[in-house]
Structure 1
Amino acid sequence: MSVKIQRPKLPPALLEGGLPSTFTEAEYYQGHNVTDEDYMYQTAERLHFDQLIFSRVSFENVTFPQIEITDVIFDKCNFSNADFSDAVIHRAEFKQSKLTGANFSGAALRHVTFDDCMGNMAAFGFSNQRHVQFSMCSLRQADFYESAFKKVDFKECQLDSSNFAETSLDGIDFTTCEFDNITISFDKLAGCIVTSEQAIGFSKAFGIVISDE
């Protein structure tokens, strides 16, 4: 499946740096290129990020629930254990970033790419995702419980021990991904695209004994 993703719409030039060292609740931040900054452990609700580029920026352990992110690129950033629950993310790119334990539960994602990211144990439960691509990401033990997918692509991802329970996998292509075990719901599996070897793994997950004798 080829998912068409709209790229972030950025102006020809952005202001270098210039964002405050501490974010303020419900504040609007726009039009900057931010490099090598550290925002660890900050807390602010309902932030607005618009037309920004963050490079090598740490958002480790931040608590930013209900953040709105539009036309933003995150390059080599650290979101370990960050709380972006109930976020609205539109036209954003996460490139070579660390998302270990990050919380995107309940988030709405539209035209978002995760490229070569470390997302083990990341939480996407109850998220609503449209035109989203995970490419060459490690998503071991990641949680997608009861998510809504439309035009979502997993390409060359590590999905071992990930959780897709109660999530419809209709149209989801796992053929380029790797996993030994994965949690899925039998009644949500119709239309999922897998290799023959992966299909055997799915069968074993439901207790089906396969015999060629």
Structure 2
Amino acid sequence: MITNFKIQQPKISSELTTEIFQAKVEAYYHRCVFQDCFITGEDVEGIAFEEVLFKNVIFEDVTFQKIELMDVIFDHCDLSNVDFSLGSIHRVVFKDSKMLGINLTEASLGNVVFDACLANLSSFGFAKLKQVKFEGCSLNNADFYDCEFLKVGFNQCELSEASFVNTSLKGIDLTTCMFSQLQVSLENVTGCVITADQAVGFAQLLGLEIKE
């Protein structure tokens, strides 16, 4: 079981230029800050952000499929229902952000931290997660269908009705998390670390009746 692993933090220059978001033909944004603003109605495939800080930014009706995020911080942003599917997301921090229904299906995430984020109904289906931590997040009804996990940690998270179907939970420690029930594939729960109380919910998946 691997629970204590290091996450590479975003490497961002101390000299960033504050900009107002405008779609560019080349769709590449480097060493800049977007702050206290709205990004609305944008649909750009393959957009790239490197060494960028988003602070108090609200995304509305945004589709950035195949997005490339490298050394990026989202601080107190609203990313609800944003489409980042098929994205490449590396050395990124999502901090105190609202991410209800965010679409990260088929994305590749490496050295990523989700810190105190509201991410209920988020979609990670078919994504690859390597060195990723969820710290104090609400992930109720989140979808992790058929994901690849390598050094993934969940600490103090809410996971009720989250789906891990077809995803191996070997080495995943859920003992600090809260959930009433999970959706899992029985063949993939071997090696998952849970508490005695949490084991009751897993026993129900096996069709067992537990008497007190």
Q: Report TM bin, short chain.
A: over 0.9
Unaligned runs of 5+ in 2: none
Q: CA deviation at 1:209?
A: 1.8
Code of the residue aligned with 1:87 in structure 2: it is: G
Determine if contact 1:37/1:57 at 8 Å carries over to the other structure: yes
Which aligned runs of 4 or more in structure 1 are off by greater than 2 angstroms?
21-26
Code of the residue aligned with 1:97 in structure 2: it is: S
CA distance in 1, matches of 2:191, 2:26: 41
CA distance in 1, matches of 2:54, 2:191: 37
1:79-137 per-position Cα deviation (integer Å, ceiling 9, x unaligned): 11100000000000000001001100000000000000000000001000000000100
Give the aligned partner of residue 51 of structure 2: 51
Q: CA deviation at 1:206?
A: 2.6
CA distance in 2, matches of 1:59, 1:122: 15
Give the aligned partner of residue 2 of structure 1: 4
Code of the residue aligned with 1:71 in structure 2: it is: D
After TM superposition, the score normalised by the length of structure 2 is 0.96
Q: CA deviation at 1:23?
A: 2.2
Give the aligned partner of residue 207 of structure 2: 207
CA distance in 2, matches of 1:38, 1:120: 22
- Residue pairs, 1:1-213, within 5 angstroms: 1-15=3-17, 17-19=18-20, 21-24=21-24, 27-211=27-211
1:151-207 per-position Cα deviation (integer Å, ceiling 9, x unaligned): 000000000011000000011110000000110010001110100111111111231
Bigger drift between 33-42 and 97-106 goes to 33-42
CA distance in 2, matches of 1:186, 1:41: 41
CA distance in 2, matches of 1:29, 1:119: 26
Quote the sequence identity (%). 41
RMSD over aligned Cα atoms: 1.2
Determine if contact 1:120/1:140 at 8 Å carries over to the other structure: yes
CA distance in 1, matches of 2:164, 2:23: 34
Q: Secondary structure at the match of 1:94?
A: strand
After TM superposition, the score normalised by the length of structure 1 is 0.95
Bigger proportion of residues as strand = 2
CA distance in 2, matches of 1:24, 1:187: 47
Q: CA deviation at 1:210?
A: 2.5
Q: CA deviation at 1:26?
A: 5.0
Code of the residue aligned with 1:7 in structure 2: it is: Q
Q: Secondary structure at the match of 2:187?
A: helix
Code of the residue aligned with 1:9 in structure 2: it is: K
Code of the residue aligned with 1:4 in structure 2: it is: K
How many residues of Structure 1 are paired with residues of Structure 2 in the alignment?
A: 210
CA distance in 2, matches of 1:43, 1:88: 17
Bigger drift between 30-39 and 101-110 goes to 30-39
